Structure 1
Amino acid sequence: MPKRQTNKFKHKIDVFGNVAMVNELNEKSFRFEKIKSIWSDIVPQTGSLQKQAADTILANVTHKIIVRYSAGKIITKDMQLHFRGHKFDINYILNPYFKNETLEIFCTEVVK
């Protein structure tokens, strides 16, 4: 199997995580805040449109986002990835062949 070329990571994505904060009522709540930016490769996988009630359409687009292992090892399933105004929810994270070289993050795009 050929080695992955490191110059393939040409898209800079932002990693957002749930950060605890105290609101004005002194209650603990969570909100997404940017944790870091990393270089990645974004590969579209599948897409589908589903017609819902009241003539609304639900778009389901999935992507595979590949990052270096050292940069992405802090990423967990409860985080979000942002790229040029697109938001991605993480479905699962795969470490191919357990080589600790890259992480493949399978995501669903959040369509507003």
Structure 2
Amino acid sequence: MLWRDLVSLISVSEVETSDNVFELAETSRDVLADKKSVNRDEFYKAISNDLRPTVAFKIRAIEYAGEQRLKHNGTDYMIVRTYSRNDETIELVCQAFDDVQTNLALLRDTVEIWHNTFIENSMGESSPMEERLFTLPARVENRGGSSGITDGVIETTNNIIVTIRYREGITPDMFLKIGGQRFDIRYIEDPFNRHETLILTAERVVL
């Protein structure tokens, strides 16, 4: 086997920079690989999962540590599948980064995730108190809004789609803050159940 292609294996992770404030960090290392075409069977299996693999790289199994991305000749790829025929080599099936819907490089915005906790006063009464849980890198897309009258009060809504790295424990009773403005979470989606990202549909209501 000819190990004639140099690739960079890239790992993307969230790093806590301060109390519950996270940023994306990348680490990379170079390994030798054998570039291959994606066979027809692999291609059609991927199509059924809404993926578009374009190339595969075979490397020594001992050199792979679960990285999510790969770079070769200036092109960034997402590793969408791994396949090993034996204990010595592993095949990394890749898709061009621009074609990956869950491109983590697009998380250039910042959102805060909050929830309400309830505290009890001296009279035994409970009242809600807002508590910040996390500050996370995200992609925020505005989706417009609407206005209407409810009980004689004019309401204006602003809808957004927020993409974050997959994280367990995010629930619809939580809410977002962006630039000091509150957005209530309406829907949560895990694309293709791949546990890579979460897509949050959120709404801000202005009275």
Residue type matched to 2:200 in 1? I
Query: What is the alpha-carbon distance in structure 1 between the residues aligned to residue 121 and residue 151 of structure 2?
Result: 36
Query: What is the alpha-carbon distance in structure 2 between the residues aligned to residue 52 and residue 20 of structure 1?
Result: 29
Task: Name the SS for the 2:105 alignment partner.
Answer: helix
Query: What is the alpha-carbon distance in structure 2 between the residues aligned to residue 30 and residue 58 of structure 1?
Result: 24
- Which residue is equivalent to 1:76? 171
Residue type matched to 1:39 in 2? P
Q: Please, what TM-score do these two structures have when normalized by structure 2? A: 0.48
Q: Please, what TM-score do these two structures have when normalized by structure 1? A: 0.83
- Which residue is equivalent to 2:119? 21
**CA contact under 8 A between 1:86 and 1:110: conserved in structure 2?**
no
Identity %: 25
- Which residue is equivalent to 2:5? none
Residue type matched to 1:111 in 2? V
In the TM superposition, residue 21 of structure 1 has moved relative to its aligned partner by 1.5
- Which residue is equivalent to 1:103? 198
Structure 1 residues not aligned, in runs of 5+: none
Change in Cα spacing, 1:57 to 1:27, as seen in structure 2 (3 Å) is: closer
Residue type matched to 1:66 in 2? T
Segments of 4+ moved more than 3 angstroms: 51-54
Query: What is the alpha-carbon distance in structure 2 between the residues aligned to residue 35 and residue 53 of structure 1?
Result: 34
Counting only pairs closer than 5 Å after superposition, residues 1-112 of structure 1 correspond to structure 2 as 1=51, 2-3=99-100, 4-51=102-149, 56-70=153-167, 73-112=168-207
Query: What is the alpha-carbon distance in structure 1 between the residues aligned to residue 175 and residue 196 of structure 2?
Result: 21
CA RMSD of the aligned region, Å? 1.9
Query: What is the alpha-carbon distance in structure 2 between the residues aligned to residue 13 and residue 24 of structure 1?
Result: 35
Moved more, 4-13 or 32-41: 4-13
In the TM superposition, residue 101 of structure 1 has moved relative to its aligned partner by 0.6
Q: Which has the higher contact order (CA 8 A, sep 6+)?
A: 1
Structure 2 residues not aligned, in runs of 5+: 1-50, 52-98
In the TM superposition, residue 59 of structure 1 has moved relative to its aligned partner by 0.5
In the TM superposition, residue 53 of structure 1 has moved relative to its aligned partner by 6.2
